[in-house]
């Protein structure tokens, strides 16, 4: 009950703070990049992916999904945390008759929901883009498009949980932002990483050669562990 009230309050707080703009910008920007890619090289791309145009579009989009997820997690987490940091309102917030665990959980849920909405926009936008590129409507791989958006997201949950923890705990956002940018750059080489390295999980969660249940399950479990550790620290730490 307390978490629900805190979450409703947080939704109101972020209305004009740029969070939803970032959600839209990340998804639409990724789609716009591929629209430009196919638009400028239409004949070549159509010939290259002629056996399955939809699969070709999905493949091109996926090559940038892990990077977008890490950057999105970093920027959205920072924006959510800055609502309180910039107004110096942590003391007033934590003085209310609501537990610190509920405050922390509500903000984590807000971050998860915001990133989930971005993935949903990416799914819908991929369908629209494919139709605009005249790939046909009779063979749209809806399930594969949903997997394109949400399996890498589940694999990236540990980074999102870590970013939310750091951003909510630190007024100076230099560390979480630097960490997020570094992770985004490092994710470009995820295909070369061992399977046990979390940076590889968004990549492994979608590629056909991997069993998606393993990186997805590992991502969910590790994210929960990070969330519990972050909540424990948040409950016992003085927040300015």
What's the pLDDT tens digit per position in 98-153?
Answer: 888 999 999 999 999 999 999 999 999 999 999 999 998 888 999 999 999 999 99
Average model confidence (pLDDT) for the chain? 90
Q: What is the pLDDT of residue 235?
A: 84
| Distance, C-alpha 109 to centroid of its chain | 12
pLDDT band at 18 (very low <50, low <70, confident <90, very high): confident
Q: Report the domain count for the chain.
A: 1
Q: Which of 20, 206, 217, 225 is nearest to 113 (CA)?
A: 20
Q: Which two tokens stand for residue 11?
A: 């939704």
pTM check: above 0.95: no
CA distance 56 to 141: 12
Q: What is the pLDDT of residue 140?
A: 94
152: containing domain: 2-236
The answer, yes or no, to whether residue 24 has pLDDT greater than 90, is yes
Q: Which of 113, 92, 110, 203 is nearest to 156 (CA)?
A: 203
* Burial of residue 192 (number of CB atoms within 10 Å: 0-12, 13-18, 19+): exposed
CA distance 184 to 172: 20
Average pLDDT over residues 224-230: 96
pLDDT band at 240 (very low <50, low <70, confident <90, very high): low
Q: What is the pLDDT of residue 4?
A: 87
For the chain, the first-to-last Cα distance in angstroms comes to 26
Average pLDDT over residues 163-176: 92
**Mind listing the pLDDT tens digit for each residue in 39-86?**
999 999 999 998 899 999 999 999 999 999 999 999 999 999 998 888
């Amino acid at each position: 009950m307390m978490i629900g009230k805190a979450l409703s309050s947080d939704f109101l707080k972020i209305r004009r703070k740029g969070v939803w703009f970032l959600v839209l910008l990340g998804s639409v920007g990724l789609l716009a990049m591929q629209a430009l890619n196919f638009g400028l090289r239409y004949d070549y791309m159509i010939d290259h992916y002629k056996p399955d145009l939809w699969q070709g579009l999905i493949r091109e989009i996926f090559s940038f999904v892990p990077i977008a997820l890490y950057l999105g997690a970093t920027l959205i987490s920072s924006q959510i945390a800055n609502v309180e940091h910039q107004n110096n309102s942590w003391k007033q917030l934590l003085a209310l008759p609501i537990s610190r665990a509920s405050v922390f959980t509500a903000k984590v849920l807000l971050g998860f929901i915001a990133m989930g909405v971005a993935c949903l926009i990416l799914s819908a936008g991929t369908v629209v883009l494919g139709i605009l590129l005249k790939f046909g409507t009779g063979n749209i791989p809806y399930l594969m498009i949903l997997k394109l958006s949400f399996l890498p997201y589940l694999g990236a949950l540990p980074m999102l949980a870590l970013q939310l923890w750091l951003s909510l705990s630190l007024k100076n956002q230099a560390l979480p932002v630097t960490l997020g940018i570094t992770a985004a750059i490092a994710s470009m080489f995820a295909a070369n990483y061992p399977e046990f390295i979390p940076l590889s999980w968004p990549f492994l969660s979608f590629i056909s050669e991997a069993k998606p249940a393993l990186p997805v399950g590992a991502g969910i479990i590790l994210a929960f562990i990070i969330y519990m550790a972050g909540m424990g620290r948040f409950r016992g730490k003085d927040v300015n």
